[in-house]
Amino acid sequence: VISYPQLPSQEFRSYLDGLPSSGSIAILCDGDVDGLGAGVTLAHCLERTGVEPSRIVNLHVPKGGNAYTQEVKAKVDAVKPSALCILDLGVRDFELAPGVPKLMIDHHRPKGSPQDSTVICGYDWEPPPTSSLLTYLLCSEVVDLQDVGWKAAIGNAGDLGPEYAPFSAMARAVTKKAFDEAKSLINSAKRSSDPDLAIPIAFRLLHRAQTPKELLKDDSAEAKTLRALQAEVKEEFAHARRLAPKFSKTQPIALFRFSSPARVHPLLAQSWRLRLPKFVVMAANDGFVEGRVNFSMRTAADINILDLLEKYGEELGIDEPEYGLGHNQASGGSLKREMFERLLEKMGFEESGDRATG
C-alpha cells in the first residue's frame, strides 16, 4: 500500500489558489507516457477547478533537446504564460519564465532549487513515484479524477512506477488489453522519428479520450499519423534488437551502438537489462540527432549510473544540458560524437575497427 506522508498537498493547493485569473497556463511536460499522463491529468484538474480550457497551452521539448535551454525558453516566452507548469522534466535552476509562478512536479534527481517555483519532487521518496502518480495524488485531493485516472495510470505503468492499487483497479476496469495498447501508442510519440509532430497529437488524443478504447478507435487524421509513427518505431526497434553487445575491457559495461531516426535506444537498453544482469547496458544511437550520439543506460546490477556518469563527466569536462540525468539505475545523455568517443574510451572500450580507420 502506497502512502506518502510527505506529499505536499497544501503547497500544491496554494499554488492553484494563487493562479492568475487570466492569461494562458502553459503545461510543459515530457513527451513520454509518464510526462503526458502527468500533463493531461493536471489539465483535467485545472479545468475541473474552473480554469477555462482555452487558457491551457501544452508545450513540449523539441526532438533530442532538453527543457532547460534557450530554445525552450523562447517557446515558453512566445506563449506569454501567466503561469507555467513543468512536469517530468527534471528540476534545474535555469529560469524558463522569470517572474511567472511556476510549478514543477518531478521524480528525477534534482539539480538545483529554482526561483519563483513550487517544486514537488519525489526522487528520494520510497518507493519513488512517477510524475504521473505524483500528479494524480496531488490533483485527486483537489478534484475528483476517478474517471480519468487511467491516464495517469498508463503513465505510471509506462515509466515502471510502483504498484498503486487504485491504478491497478482502473487498468482492469478498462480492460488490460486496451490499457496496454493505449500506453504503447502514447509512448510511441517521443520514440518516433518525428516527436515534434507526434507529441502534441498524443497529448490531444489522451486529453480528449474518455476511455483507452475510445483513444484506440480515434479515426482522425492525426490519430492515423500517430499510428503510422508507432509502426515505424516497432520496425526500428525490431531491427536494433538483432545487435550483439560489445564489452568494455575495464568496466562491467555492455555497449550496443547503432543508427536509427527513432528514439529506440532507451527501449533497447531496457530490453537487455535483465539479460545482462551484472552489467550496465548502454544503447547508443548515432542516427537520432545529426552529429550527436544519444544514449541510454540501464542496469539491474547494484551500480549507480548517475555517479558513474558524473565521474566521467568531470574527468572529461562535459558541460551539456542532457547528460547524466535521471535515476540511479536509468540514465543516459546526448553528446557530440567526438565527446562520446572520448567517453567510450574512458569507459574502457577500444575503438571499433570501422570507426578507428574512418
**How far, in whole angstroms, is CA 310 from its chain's centroid?**
20
- Sole residue written with cell 506563449: 79
What's the 3-state SS for 218-253?
CCCHHHHHHHHHHHHHHHHHHHHCCCCCEECCCCCE
Report the nearest approach of Mn ion to the CB of residue 330 (Å).
Answer: 10
As to burial, measured by CB atoms within 10 angstroms (0-12 exposed, 13-18 middle, 19+ buried), residue 305 is buried
Report the nearest approach of Mn ion to the CB of residue 325 (Å).
Answer: 11
**Which backbone phi and psi does 334 adopt, to 5 degrees?**
-140, 120
Nearer to Mn ion, 145 or 325 (CB): 325
Nearer to Mn ion, 257 or 263 (CB): 263
Report the nearest approach of Mn ion to the CB of residue 52 (Å).
Answer: 28
Nearer to Mn ion, 123 or 247 (CB): 123
Nearer to Mn ion, 257 or 265 (CB): 265
Question: How far is residue 294's CA from residue 263's CA, in Å, rounded to a whole number?
Answer: 9
Report the nearest approach of Mn ion to the CB of residue 298 (Å).
Answer: 14
Cα R_g (the chain), whole angstroms: 20
Residues binding Mn ion (CB under 5 A): 34, 88, 131, 159
Nearer to Mn ion, 149 or 161 (CB): 161
The DSSP H or E segment spanning 204 is helix 195-208
Report the nearest approach of Mn ion to the CB of residue 38 (Å).
Answer: 8
Nearer to Mn ion, 159 or 322 (CB): 159
**Which backbone phi and psi does 174 adopt, to 5 degrees?**
-95, 5
Report the nearest approach of Mn ion to the CB of residue 184 (Å).
Answer: 16
Nearer to Mn ion, 157 or 343 (CB): 157
Question: How far is residue 42's CA from residue 85's CA, in Å, rounded to a whole number?
Answer: 9
- Residue type for position 53: P
Q: Which residue's Cβ has the minimum distance to Mn ion? A: 34
Nearer to Mn ion, 78 or 160 (CB): 160
Question: How far is residue 268's CA from residue 298's CA, in Å, rounded to a whole number?
Answer: 10
Q: Which long-range contacts (CB under 8 A, 24 or more apart) does 271-276 make?
A: 271/241, 272/245, 272/298, 273/298, 273/299, 273/300, 274/300, 276/245
Nearer to Mn ion, 89 or 223 (CB): 89
Report the nearest approach of Mn ion to the CB of residue 161 (Å).
Answer: 8
Report the nearest approach of Mn ion to the CB of residue 98 (Å).
Answer: 26
Per-state percent for the chain, helix, strand, coil, to nearest 5? 45, 15, 40
Report the nearest approach of Mn ion to the CB of residue 148 (Å).
Answer: 19
Question: How far is residue 322's CA from residue 111's CA, in Å, rounded to a whole number?
Answer: 12
Is residue 156 within 8 Å of 42, Cβ to Cβ? no
Nearer to Mn ion, 187 or 230 (CB): 187
Question: How far is residue 151's CA from residue 179's CA, in Å, rounded to a whole number?
Answer: 9
Report the nearest approach of Mn ion to the CB of residue 108 (Å).
Answer: 7
The packing angle between helices 149-158 and 165-173, to 10°, is 110
